[in-house]
Amino acid sequence: MRILVSGGAGFIGSHLVDKLMENEKNEVIVVDNFFTGSKDNLRKWIGHPRFELIRHDVTETLLVEVDQIYHLACPASPIFYKYNPVKTIKTNVIGTLNMLGLAKRVGARILLTSTSEVYGDPLQHPQTEEYWGNVNPIGVRSCYDEGKRVAETLMFDYHRQHGLVQAPGTQTRSFCYVSDMVDGLIRLMQGENTGPINIGNPGEFTMMELAETVKELINPEVPIKVVENTPDDPRQRKPDITKAKELLGWEPTVTLRQGLPMMEDDFRQRLAVPKKQSKSSIFEIEIIEKYRDGTIDKVEVAYACTQGARVEEDENADGGSNKDATEVYEANSSSLFDQPDSPPSDAPGLSLPPDSAPDPAP
C-alpha cells in the first residue's frame, strides 16, 4: 500500500506516519513545506527504504502514484494561520483541490482532517456532525474556519460529482491524545463510511483547568499567565462522538491526566531536554535496580522506602538538604544491612507475602 500524508512533518502527521510505518506492507510518502512542520519529527524514518520525504507546497500540483491520501496539510495554530491568512485560505482551498485532483487521477481513497473550528462559536452543545456551525465569515480566524468549511464542501462536491472519493472528512482539533487520534483516522480510512465523523475526546474542561492540571503534573513551580483572548474564540467546544463509536467502533482511551505526562516525555525527547530528578527519586531508582539484580530483598526494600521518605522530608524542609544524591544513597544503603531482618512498623505501602517474611530468630 502506497500512502501519501500531506503535512506529515507536523505533530499529528508525524505520529500518523509512525503508526503507518509499523506495517511492513506500507510505503509512506510525506509532503510538507515545513512552514510549521519539522524534519526532526521524521528523522527516524529518513533513509528508510519504505519512506520518502518531499519538500512540497500542496498549493502546487503534485504527481505521484498512491493508493491512499491523508490530507492534513494546513497550519492549525492561530499564531501561524493568522500570520498569513491568504496563504491559509489557499492551502485549504487550492491545496484540497490539488489533493482531490490527485485522488481522482490515480483512484486513491482520500481523507481530509478538518477541524472543530467549522462549528465556530457553537450554539449547540455538544456538537454533532449535522450541526452547521456559527462562524464569523470576516473575522481574524475566518481564514482557517471558512477555509476548512470550503475544503469540506469540495470533498463532498467531488464525491457527488465524480463518485471516486470515499472518505471526505473528519473533525479534529479537540483535546484528544495523539495515539487515539491516529487510531481513529486509520479506522476511518480503512472503513466504508463517507463522513464527516467527529474524532475527538468529549472530555470538557476550561483552559484554566487545563493550565492548573499541567502545572500540577508537569511543574508545580510554573506561574500561570492570563492574557487577553483572541477575537471570535469559541466559548464551548465538545464533540459528539456517537457516530465514531457506532460506525468505527472507536472512542478515546487516554485521559487528559494520563496523556499530559506522556506528552511531556515525548517533547523532552524531541527537544533533548532531560527531566530533573529529585534526590529522593534518584535514591528510589537505585533501590529498585539493587532489588532487580538481587543485591537486596523485599524486606530491605521496605526499610529503604522508609529511609527514602525521610530523605524526601529533608529535601522539603526549609533550607533543603546539604547532602548530594550520592551521599544520601550511600548513607541509606549502608544502613540497610545494619538493621534487623524485619522492616520497621511504619514501612510505607508494602505488603509482603508470607513466604517472603524472614524466618524467626532461633
Residue 153 shares a structural domain with residue 188? yes
- What is the model's pLDDT at position 354? 43
239 inside domain: yes
Residue 313 shares a structural domain with residue 192? no
Q: Which domain holds residue 287?
A: 279-356
Other residues' Cβ atoms within 10 Å of the Cβ of residue 140: 15
Distances from the Cα of 241 to the Cα of 17, 62, 191, 197, angstroms: 24, 34, 16, 8
Choose the catalytic residue: 70, 144, 158, 303.
144
CATH number of the domain at 159, please.
3.40.50.720
- What is the model's pLDDT at position 129? 73
Residue 172 shares a structural domain with residue 288? no
Distances from the Cα of 99 to the Cα of 63, 89, 95, angstroms: 10, 15, 6
pTM, two decimals, is 0.61
Residue 83 grid cell: 500570520
303 in catalytic set: no
- What is the model's pLDDT at position 277? 62
- Calculate Rg over the CA atoms of the chain: 27
Rounded distance between C-alpha atoms, residue 274 and residue 263, angstroms: 14
Rounded distance between C-alpha atoms, residue 200 and residue 321, angstroms: 46
- What is the model's pLDDT at position 92? 93
- What is the model's pLDDT at position 344? 41
- What is the model's pLDDT at position 298? 64
Domains identified in the chain, total number: 2
211 inside domain: no
Point out the residues of the chain with pLDDT beneath 50. Answer: 166-173, 309-313, 315-362
Residue 296 shares a structural domain with residue 247? no
Cβ neighbors of 308 (< 8 A, separation 6 or more) are 280, 283, 284, 287, 332
- What is the model's pLDDT at position 275? 78
